[in-house]
């Protein structure tokens, strides 16, 4: 587990960079789920996702250590965050993305000044390529999730939730590589151990579910899901043990559950949330989270989706 002192240090490190994102509510969501739900708006974060927290914590330290080039592997959101903070810090960035990366996310990476390299379809393919580029160029690799500074940075969202919803009884968080979930579970369980922390991932990208069931990390190969930010092929080497030991439970949601959550958030909460960011609400709306009558924080982890893609998903 990442210590609370390290998460607090991260909060101080990134305080001038990231937003303290708002907590939103919806009476319709409360009625539909049977809970009092508080939406942690990381989709309103700089670069459109929580990823800026961990990326900033890692890169700012690297730049102080003399780094002039950073390299990342990302399906989109981590890459945007790395390109953004690298540009603000005056260093170069190279982002390795999958061949089928979201055009909107690739365009944003390039707009922030990042150089984009396409490689394969899975995290197991693009991470080694990013490591190779970093070694060849003398750059610093910025992991998407498997790093204590990254996890600590993501954990700052958990600290914020508890300060904004002090009587919170449960937190539902999306799970991909596990950085956000691991960071939040570290913060929450050290501050208030009795709070439930529930992970949610797509049924069609259920590497964490399979790994938890097997008691070890399981690779599932290429996956297809509208929640492109959660398409990891294997849980993180560092994040998985944290989730294995401290996550209260993990649930999966269907593609229709995810689409319905995006539609619901748009119609009733007036929020544009990408599919990856809406799986927490999908778990609540579908009943798969398995909780009722509680004060629940649901993390909306990102909002980076193209207008066309969002309209198609909403069936407008």
Query: How far is it, in rounded angstroms, from Cα 277 to Cα 117?
Result: 25
Q: Is the pLDDT of residue 222 over 90?
A: no
316 has a pLDDT exceeding 70 = no
Distance CA 152, CA 96 (A): 23
> Are 90 and 170 in the same domain?
no
Residues 298 and 169 in one domain: yes
> 184: closest CA among 47, 277, 82, 54?
54
What per-residue confidence (pLDDT) applies to 314? 78
**If you compute the radius of gyration of the chain from its CA atoms, what whole number of angstroms results?**
18
The string of pLDDT tens digits covering residues 155-168 is 999 999 999 999 99
Q: Residue 95, CB half-sphere, CA atoms under 13 Å: how many?
A: 32
| Spatial distance between the Cα atoms of 139 and 169, rounded to a whole number of angstroms | 43
Based on the domain organization, do 137 and 152 belong to the same domain?
no
Q: Whole-angstrom Cα distance, residue 56 to residue 106?
A: 19
- Mean pLDDT computed over every residue of the chain: 95
| Catalytic-residue membership of 51 | yes
Structural domain span for residue 103: 51-141
Judged by DSSP in three states, 171 sits in strand
Q: Using CA atoms, how far apart are residues 167 and 178, in angstroms rounded to an integer?
A: 25
Length reported for the chain: 316
Q: Give the tens place of pLDDT for each residue, 55-112.
A: 999 999 999 999 999 999 987 899 999 999 999 999 999 999 989 888 888 999 999 9
Do 70 and 24 belong to one domain? no
Kindly state the helix (H) or strand (E) to which residue 299 belongs, with its residue range: strand 295-300
pLDDT tops 80 at residue 42: yes
Strand partners, 39: 24, 298
The share of the chain scoring above pLDDT 70, in percent, equals: 100
281 closest CA partner among 303, 296, 294: 296
Q: 130 and 271: one domain?
A: no
| pLDDT at site 229 | 85
In the numeric block, which tokens belong to residue 277?
């960011």
- Same domain as 176, residue 308: yes
Model-level pTM?
0.95
CATH number where 71 lies: 3.40.50.1100
Last residue of a domain, one of 141, 175, 206: 141
> pLDDT by residue (tens digit) across 245-274?
999 999 999 999 999 999 999 999 999 999
In this structure, are 94 and 197 located in the same domain? Answer: no
Give the count of domains, the chain.
2
CB 170 within 8 A of CB 291: yes
Residue 285 has what pLDDT?
98
Work out the average pLDDT over 219-246. 91
Place of tokens 């208030």: 192
Query: Are 78 and 41 in the same domain?
Result: no
Do 17 and 117 lie in one domain? The reply is no
Shared domain for 110 and 166, answered yes or no, is: no
Same-domain check for residues 296 and 181: yes
Task: Give the residue with greater pLDDT, 125 vs 165.
Answer: 165
What sections of the chain are H helices per DSSP? Answer: 4-13, 27-33, 51-64, 77-89, 103-111, 123-137, 148-164, 179-191, 207-214, 239-246, 255-268, 275-285, 307-314
**What is the pLDDT at residue 83?**
97
- Among residues 105, 126, 141, the one where a domain terminates is 141
- The whole-number average pLDDT for the span 179-184 is 98
Query: Do residue 44 and residue 56 come from a single domain?
Result: no
- Half-sphere exposure at residue 300, Cβ-oriented, CA atoms within 13 angstroms: 28
Of 141, 158, 185, which marks where a domain is finished? 141
Amino acid 163: pLDDT: 98
- For 40, phi then psi, to 5°, come to -80, 110
Give catalytic status of residue 301 as yes or no. yes
Q: What is the pLDDT of residue 40?
A: 98
Active-site residue, from 6, 46, 51, 189: 51
């Amino acid at each position: 587990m990442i210590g609370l002192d390290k998460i607090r240090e991260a909060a101080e490190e990134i305080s001038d960079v990231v937003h303290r994102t708002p907590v939103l509510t919806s009476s319709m969501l409360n009625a539909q789920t049977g809970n009092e739900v508080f939406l942690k708006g990381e989709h309103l974060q700089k670069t459109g996702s929580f990823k800026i927290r961990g990326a900033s914590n890692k890169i700012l330290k690297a730049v102080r250590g003399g780094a002039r080039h950073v390299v990342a592997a990302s399906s989109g959101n981590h890459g945007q965050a790395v390109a953004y903070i690298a540009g603000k810090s005056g260093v170069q960035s190279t982002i390795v993305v999958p061949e089928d990366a979201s055009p909107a996310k690739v365009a944003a990476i390039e707009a922030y000044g990042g150089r984009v390299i396409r490689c394969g379809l899975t995290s197991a393919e693009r991470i080694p390529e990013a490591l190779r580029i970093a070694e060849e160029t003398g750059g610093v690799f910025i992991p998407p999730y498997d790093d204590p500074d990254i996890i600590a940075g993501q954990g700052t969202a958990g600290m914020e939730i508890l300060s904004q919803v002090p009587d919170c009884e449960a937190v539902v968080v999306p799970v991909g590589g596990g950085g956000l979930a691991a960071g939040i579970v570290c913060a929450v369980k050290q501050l208030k151990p009795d709070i439930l922390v529930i992970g949610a991932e797509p049924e069609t990208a259920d590497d964490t579910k399979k790994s938890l069931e097997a008691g070890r990390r399981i690779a599932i190969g290429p996956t297809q899901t509208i929640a492109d930010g959660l398409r990891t092929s294997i849980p993180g080497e560092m994040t998985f043990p944290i989730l294995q030991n401290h996550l209260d439970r993990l649930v999966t949601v269907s593609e229709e559950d995810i689409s319905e959550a995006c539609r619901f958030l748009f119609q009733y909460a007036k929020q544009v949330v990408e599919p990856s960011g809406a799986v927490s609400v999908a778990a609540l709306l579908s009943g798969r989270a398995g909780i009722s009558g509680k004060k629940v924080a649901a993390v909306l982890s990102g909002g980076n989706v193209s207008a066309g893609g969002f309209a198609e998903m909403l069936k407008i």
